[in-house]
Chain A
Amino acid sequence: MLSMQNISMVYRTDLVETHALREFSLEVAEGDFVSVTGPSGSGKTTFLNIAGLLEQFTDGRYELDGRDVSGLSDADSSAVRNEKIGFIFQSFNLIPDLNLFDNVDVPLRYRGFSATERKRRIEKVLDTVGLASRMKHLPSQLSGGQQQRVAIARALAGEPRFLLADEPTGNLDSHMAMSVMELISEINRNGTTIIMVTHDPVLAEMASRNVHILDGRVSNGHEQPQLAEVATG
């Protein structure tokens, strides 16, 4: 499903060279629910950005769904993001002056679906997250938990193979966080592969596997013992 081999990511300025990832290798199988933990600055977000084709890496090989996605053109990587990957962000990243329907509609617009198909999908995913009755509301009229549910609906609308979540409960209280996590777990149980970055060890334990990143590398010592996959590097 996802295969990263010896991925390196170096940020360079005139004076400084920062290695965000160093020979980072990871295999994620279809249907996995992987939590990614690590201290601030360890490279979690860089990993997630590369996994989501939001950033180009410096070196290494990355295959997504059997396709080598290294060095894709902008149009191709946009299409892959749109079709195969769903994103959930810590700060929800909803567009404030679009109602829920139109927010969920955003990725579908770039997919070229017909209006009927888009409407069907939007109603379905909003129903899945329990907000079908509020599709004309603006994000500001919802609670934080509800907004994150809308973001999840948006991520699911394109029926991606792969969901990337970056601290999805970071802005929520514990009750709402648990509710969102239950939703994410259910999505995984329905077959969607999920990679979730989190600081919270309790939430990390809800995944089927944990990968700990330290100094831009997978730290084997923190790999959960029940997991078969071992990241190298």
Chain B
Amino acid sequence: MFSYYLKLGWLSIRRNPFLSALMIAAIAVGIGASMTIITVNYVMSGNPIPQKSDQLFYVQLDGWDPNKYDEDDFEAPDQVTYLDAMALMKADKAYRQVASNRSGLVLEPQGEGERPFSVSTRNTWADFFPMFELPFIYGSGWDDSADDNLEKVVVLGKEINERVFGGENSVGRSVRLNGMDFQIVGVMDEYLPVPRFYDVTTGAFDEPADIFIPFNIAVEYEFSRNGNTSCWKKPDGEGYEAFLNSECVWIQFWAELRSDEEKQDYMAFLNAYAEQQKELGRFPRPINNQLSDVMEWMENQEVVEDDARVMLGLSLLFLVVCLLNTVGLLLAKFLGKSADISLRRALGASRSNLFIQHMIESGLIGLGGGIFGLVLTWLGLRGIEMLFGDFIENLVGLDWVMVLTAIGLAIVSALLAGLYPTWRACRIAPASQLKIQ
């Protein structure tokens, strides 16, 4: 019977093409608007590294201001100090660990007539590349000895390699950064984690850095910091050394812990470290160290902002308005079929037969609305991209999940919109339309 009902639904849609088109358009506009926002929210709240997001933990150590301590609501700082970062790196207690921050350097191409340009830089450690599974076209990340020996090595992003070396294998060659030559050890492939989970403090949806260099080199040469720096008390003294020894937080710290046992051990280590620091006069607040896996950290940092949630609510409200219009149109359409319904009732169709028939017709209209809604969604996403530029580029992709969601949402919406008109249609008495007086 399902195929029969499908056929009847299709015939009915064809019988009133204008009315059907209006309904499909109403659903399509609602779906287009809501799916545009849903897609952005979906991408924002997606898991950027699903294969190991539950093994990567963001580390928070609470050595913050005791005067800003509220027993019921206190949060450890979202970055760590240089002192703590170095201590954790040196302890080497996790399977892998990385401290990193962002800075900006000037790259000086060696070709004639080429002008220097600034590049965004991530200062990090050797474990960064295997830990976050960065893809490489050529070479690889550097090894631990490069960190220890302050080697001037660099990993180039794909775009920089294309810009400076025309996309060739540049491994082994050097590139001049801030007046110093760095040896290229690897060239990354396209890498666009969304959100950019390993550093949400400087914008969860910014693109990854252009180049990657050892953290120790950045410190050694006092490269500028482009990220957030927060201090609850002034450094003891002037100069970079005093800053490094201060309670200012400016470094993101991640640990890779492969099991619950490793996580428990690492938390015990962090707490012991905090106790030790208390004895040294640091960490004045109660111990409040935290380990958050990737998705917990995204939630903690409210990567999906309240504005986006409000927009999502508004877009769904708009979909409801479109559906209310569809209810009216479906009501007109179904009641316009009174003679057909009455005849079918006389010929033996029960109310449940007619209910299924008309719900399937509603579903077909929803399917049409979903398909056209997808086109509008695509246009909406392109519009957002044009409006906000490159910043939003990574958020406006429409994958299969969202395509199927759009179709599913459209069909479910149409079925909901069809409930009342269908119920009314099923109430039409069998005898009411059969005789022309």
Contact = CB atoms under 8 A, between A and B. Distances in A.
Contact of B352 (A75, A82, A93): A75
Interface stretch (B21-29, B288-296, B339-347, B366-374): B339-347
B282 interface: no
A54 B347 contact: no
Interface stretch (A104-112, A140-148, A183-191, A199-207): A104-112
A90 interface: yes
Nearest to B433: A93
Nearest to B339: A93
Given A89-B434, A107-B347, A109-B4, A55 B429 contact: yes
Contacts of B339: 93
Given A78-B348, A78-B350, A82-B348, A166 B431 contact: no
The interface residues of chain B, by DSSP majority, are classed as: helix
B22 to A, nearest CB: 20
A87 B429 contact: no
A111 B348 contact: yes
B348 A81 contact: yes
Contact of A97 (B1, B11, B348): B11
B277 interface: no
Interface in A132-168: 154, 158, 166-167
A79 B346 CA distance: 10
B428 to A, nearest CB: 12
Interface in A16-68: 45, 49, 52, 54-55
Given A54-B429, A93-B339, A109-B4, A87 B347 contact: yes
A230 interface: no
B435 A81 contact: no
B351 A74 contact: yes
A106 B430 contact: no
Given A54-B430, A110-B348, A95 B340 contact: yes
B202 interface: no
A18 to B, nearest CB: 15
A49 B431 contact: yes
B349 interface: yes
Interface residues of B, number: 24
A74 B4 CA distance: 22
B15 A110 contact: no
A98 interface: yes
A111 B349 CA distance: 9
Interface residues of A, number: 29
Interface centre among A74, A83, A111, A166 (most CB of B within 10 A): A74
Interface centre among A78, A81, A89, A110 (most CB of B within 10 A): A78
Interface string A206-226: 000000000000000000000
A78 B351 CA distance: 9
B436 interface: yes
Contacts of B353: 78, 110
B435 A91 contact: yes
Contacts of A75: 350-352
Contacts of B436: 90-91
Given A78-B348, A93-B339, A98 B435 contact: no
Contacts of A110: 344, 347-350, 353
B346 A81 contact: yes
B346 A52 contact: yes
A111 B347 CA distance: 10
B14 interface: yes
A158 B349 CA distance: 13
A17 B353 CA distance: 33
Nearest to B7: A102
A81 B352 contact: no
Interface in B10-47: 11, 14-15
Interface centre among B11, B340, B435 (most CB of A within 10 A): B435
Interface centre among B1, B14, B340 (most CB of A within 10 A): B340
Contacts of B14: 97
A109 B1 contact: yes
Contacts of A97: 11, 14-15
A89 B430 CA distance: 13
A93 B348 contact: no
A83 B348 CA distance: 8
Contacts of B346: 52, 54, 81, 87
Given A79-B348, A107-B348, 4 more contacts: A91-B436, A97-B14, A107-B347, A110-B349
